[in-house]
């Protein structure tokens, strides 16, 4: 099939590479000329395991090409995916300007019947807006070309994006006609060969499914973080409580890790957008509004632990930070808890040394106004440090050389934002070890 993907970010590039890998011809578009030039030169703009190989292989056999000209898509494609960003607007709602700009250019330039697929996460009713935009542009051209708009929300996880796209738990498609639904079924059939995981539904339900999924996952995280905070107040250990509840199959172990709050490009903005969508329709979503509030508070927990030991004035203190990205296996810094933490430390007069295996360039952009000493490995950040804070649980932090850590540090405070270690083990190594949800 000839496929066009508009937007070559985390979702667009992964989708394009995976569709190409399955034997389709894919043209991937972006408005960012540098990004497209880099992609053509084999420079992949993001870190995502397996993506670089997949893009380069498919590019070299011409099943995947890149362009900044939307006509390169519209002249050849039967199906066009919209995978541009839908960032949080000033009022917390999803900003649809990029999606609607794309819809406008599709309407202005399309040359034959198209199935247009909303893959971006968009508020309920967006497919109708996309339809109207395209139709108005066609009307201006006095064109009687036809098109269908389909919703196909994406559920991939950054850090495991290729695996998730190639082996999805489910493929959700919302369509208002059987022909488009069948086309989407055919397109995704290679990804669900072992058992049929295609879930067809109406368009609004598909748009809502994405928000419901992210709200559920964010709720689980905020739930366990709230339980962690209660544990800490009452002298219980959330790690033991987690084991105690996760064994119940109705609850399960997944997504109940206590930590320093969720970040990334999806949960914060999608939870907030869902609150706004509900409010716009006259419903006050009490539970989901709290999820975001609990998370914002949780992002301050690591700094509070630091202050509990050193006081509010961090002048003269040197703090080492392990991990900057919002989660391991990605360089994505959007809404990462490390941003709040580092800003707070520097504001309180402390000095920060930081190391992340993949996200340092991104971090330099997100923290451009903040002086941070970026180091090339996990041990150099520790020189003379009064405290070490683990923010992102990259695998390389799981079994570090604790004797080496101690020999480099000035102090012995170790604050673990991801509860990676057994308390007794770290204390035996001579550290003062603070975790989330465990009394100091
Ligand atoms: N990142 C994730 O893990 C994830 C997962 C599921 C869904 N989503 C959703 O998918 C959408 C895309 O997310 P992302 O993380 O890939 O975003 P991104 O910011 O990484 O990429 C978006 C890309 O679109 C490009 N773009 C903007 N306007 C354009 C235009 N008019 N024409 C062509 N290109 C244009 C940008 O230059 C950018 O490269 C969002 O709605 C997001 O909520 C993201």
Q: Residues for the chain: how many in total? A: 440
How far CA 8 is from CA of 26, 27, 83, 325, 410, in Å, comes to 12, 10, 7, 20, 45
- At residue 337, φ and ψ (nearest 5 deg) are -60, -25
Q: Is the distance from the beta carbon of residue 272 to the nearest atom of ligand 1 less than 6 Å?
A: no
Name the packing angle between helices 10-21 and 51-60 (round to 10°): 50
Buried b (16+ CB within 10 A) or exposed e, 71-87: ebbbeebebbbbbbbbe
Closest residue by Cα to atom 30, ligand 1, is: 31
CA 212 – ligand 1 centroid, Å:
20
CA 86 – ligand 1 centroid, Å:
7
- Paired with 149 in beta bridges are 116
Burial class (CB in 10 A: 0-12, 13-18, 19+), 176: middle
Q: Is the distance from the beta carbon of residue 83 to the nearest atom of ligand 1 less than 6 Å?
A: yes
CA 220 – ligand 1 centroid, Å:
25
74's CB contacts (< 8 A; 6+ apart) are 4, 80, 106, 109, 110, 111, 114
Burial class (CB in 10 A: 0-12, 13-18, 19+), 129: middle
pLDDT of residue 125: 96
Q: Is the distance from the beta carbon of residue 85 to the nearest atom of ligand 1 less than 6 Å?
A: yes
CA 356 – ligand 1 centroid, Å:
24
Instruction: Return the half-sphere exposure (C-beta side, CA atoms, 13 A cut-off) of residue 250.
Output: 0
Closest residue by Cα to atom 13, ligand 1, is: 85
Catalytic positions are: 266
pLDDT of residue 333: 97
The one-digit pLDDT tens for each residue of the chain (440 residues) are 999 999 999 999 999 999 999 999 999 999 999 999 999 999 999 999 999 999 999 999 999 999 999 999 999 999 999 999 999 998 989 999 999 999 999 999 999 999 999 999 999 999 999 999 999 999 999 999 999 999 999 999 999 999 999 999 999 999 999 999 999 999 999 999 998 999 999 999 999 999 999 999 999 999 999 999 999 999 999 999 999 999 999 999 999 999 999 999 899 999 999 999 999 999 999 999 999 999 999 999 999 999 999 999 999 999 999 999 999 999 999 999 999 999 999 999 999 999 999 999 999 999 999 999 999 999 999 999 999 999 999 999 999 999 999 999 999 999 999 999 999 999 999 999 999 999 88
Q: Is the distance from the beta carbon of residue 266 to the nearest atom of ligand 1 less than 6 Å?
A: yes
Q: Is the distance from the beta carbon of residue 183 to the nearest atom of ligand 1 less than 6 Å?
A: no
pTM above 0.75, yes or no: yes
The atom number, within ligand 1, closest to the CA of 119 reads 10
Q: Is the distance from the beta carbon of residue 31 to the nearest atom of ligand 1 less than 6 Å?
A: yes
The atom number, within ligand 1, closest to the CA of 6 reads 33
The Cα–Cα gap between 139 and 321 comes to 56
Q: Is the distance from the beta carbon of residue 96 to the nearest atom of ligand 1 less than 6 Å?
A: no
193's CB contacts (< 8 A; 6+ apart) are none
Q: Give the Cβ contact number of residue 412 at 10 Å.
A: 16
The Cα–Cα gap between 352 and 332 comes to 20
pLDDT of residue 440: 85
How far CA 184 is from CA of 12, 115, 125, 127, in Å, comes to 17, 9, 20, 16
313's CB contacts (< 8 A; 6+ apart) are 348, 349
Collapsing DSSP to helix, strand or coil, 32 comes out as: coil
Tell me how far apart the terminal alpha carbons of the chain are, to the nearest angstrom.
59
pLDDT of residue 291: 97
**β strands within 323-400, DSSP E:** 351-355, 372-374, 387-390
Give the β-pairing of 147-151 and 64-67.
Answer: unpaired
Query: Residue 288 corresponds to which tokens in the numbers above?
Result: 């989901």
């Amino acid at each position: 099939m000839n496929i066009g993907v508009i937007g070559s970010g985390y979702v667009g590039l992964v989708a394009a590479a995976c569709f190409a890998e399955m034997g389709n011809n894919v043209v991937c578009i972006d408005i960012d000329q540098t990004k497209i030039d880099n992609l053509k030169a084999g420079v992949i703009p993001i870190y995502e395991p397996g993506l670089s190989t997949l893009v380069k292989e498919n590019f070299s056999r011409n099943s995947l090409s890149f362009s900044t000209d939307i006509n390169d898509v519209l002249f050849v494609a039967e199906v066009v995916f919209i995978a541009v960003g839908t960032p949080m607007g000033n009022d917390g709602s999803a900003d649809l300007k990029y999606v609607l700009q794309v819809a406008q250019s599709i309407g202005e330039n399309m040359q034959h019947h198209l199935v247009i697929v909303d893959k971006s996460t968009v508020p309920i009713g967006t497919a109708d807006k996309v339809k109207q935009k395209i139709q108005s542009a066609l009307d201006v051209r006095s064109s009687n070309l036809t098109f269908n708009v389909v919703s196909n929300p994406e559920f991939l996880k950054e850090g495991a994006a290729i695996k998730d796209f190639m082996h999805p738990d489910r493929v959700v498609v919302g369509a208002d006609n059987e022909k488009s639904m069948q086309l989407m079924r055919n397109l995704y059939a290679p990804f669900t060969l072992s058992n049929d995981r295609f879930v067809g539904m109406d368009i609004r339900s598909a748009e809502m499914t994405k928000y419901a999924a992210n709200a559920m996952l964010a709720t689980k995280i905020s739930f366990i973080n709230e339980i962690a905070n209660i544990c800490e107040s009452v002298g219980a250990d959330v790690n033991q409580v987690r084991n105690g509840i996760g064994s119940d199959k109705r609850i399960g172990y997944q997504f109940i890790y206590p930590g320093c709050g969720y970040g990334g490009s999806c949960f914060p903005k999608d939870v907030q957008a869902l609150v706004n969508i509900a409010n716009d329709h006259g419903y006050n979503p009490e539970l989901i509004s709290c999820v975001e509030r609990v998370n914002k508070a949780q992002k301050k927990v690591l700094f509070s632990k630091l202050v509990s030991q050193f006081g509010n004035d961090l002048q003269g203190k040197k703090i080492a930070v392990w991990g900057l990205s919002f989660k391991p296996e990605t360089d994505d810094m959007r809404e990462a808890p490390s941003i709040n933490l580092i800003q707070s430390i520097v504001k309180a007069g402390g000095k920060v040394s930081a190391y992340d295996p993949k996200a340092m360039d991104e971090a330099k952009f997100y923290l451009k106004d903040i002086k941070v000493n970026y180091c090339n490995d996990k041990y150099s950040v520790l020189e003379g440090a009064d405290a070490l804070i683990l923010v992102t649980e990259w695998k390389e932090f799981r079994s570090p050389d604790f004797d080496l850590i101690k020999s480099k540090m000035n102090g012995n405070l170790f604050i673990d934002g991801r509860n990676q270690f057994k308390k007794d083990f770290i204390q035996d190594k001579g550290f003062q070890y603070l975790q989330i949800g465990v009394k100091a």
